[in-house]
Structure 1
Amino acid sequence: MDTGTKDPAPSRYESQKRRDWNTFGQFLRNQRPPVELHRCTGGHVLDFLRYLDQFGKTKVHLQGCPFYGQPEPPAPCACPLRQAWGSLDALIGRLRAAYEEHGGPPETNPFASGEIRVYLREVKEFQAKARGVSFKKKKKRSEARKMDDQSTSSTTPFP
């Protein structure tokens, strides 16, 4: 019984999550021996993230490079292209959600393991140093608003 209406197209996020999930599944099937999803560990996820580095588009200067720590180097260099930290972080978020949507229990989610959090933190710190970009935590909006209120309340001419 066709009502003539189509299901709405999946959102960009949902489409990307499905592609990421399929890519990760293919990666596991290509391992020797192939890895079944329920046997997947944080180590397999780390291998996947390292594998993806070869397709990265972010120049990450090595410590011996004369442009190490410069946000805008004046000339090209031979340093490798890598996956940007933000891309990896977003990917892990999508895969973490997809794992649970596909029936994986949250307590055994390999994308939520401590080793993945440590790896992402190390990539973030290394890329920040290599590119001369500091990732300082931004103040929470409510804290910033309080500070603004305090500074303007003393100069406001109203009682």
Structure 2
Amino acid sequence: MSTATVPATTLGDTKVKVLKLIGWAGILGAVVMIIGGGVVWGVVSSQLAAEKITVAEDASFLAGAPVVGPFSAYAQADIINHHALAMAGDKTYAELDKEDPLRATVMNASFLRTSLFTSVVSFGVSAFAIGMGVLSGLFGWAILTLAPAWPKKTTATGVRA
């Protein structure tokens, strides 16, 4: 087993301190992002669960599953669109005549899809925050690991203690 020596650093005391602080900031940012992303994911999931929505049985995937996550929310939004288009003869809300009695139903379907897609985006942003938190923590840890030790304090006589 060989022991490698770390080359002497040419960084001054101030740069070493700044480098260490950046490392700690990365780790602190990681904690905030991971917790924040997890909390948002949990809130969105619990709010969807409270609505007691189940993916329609004729959905292309996750049929019958409770809508509590990004994939089930997407599946339900997709089947709502399918049903609305089938009911309106493949016309969207904007394409229907203003006097068409189906227009209100298609509009409600559009609103439901938008709400479900908003939750899908929220899950995505939460996952992104958690992922970036993990990366930030790894970068902070790497900086702290590779940076030289904190400079020793200088005594009144100018000698490092």
Q: TM-score per shorter chain, which class?
A: under 0.3
Q: Which has the larger radius of gyration?
A: 2
State TM-score, norm by structure 1: 0.27
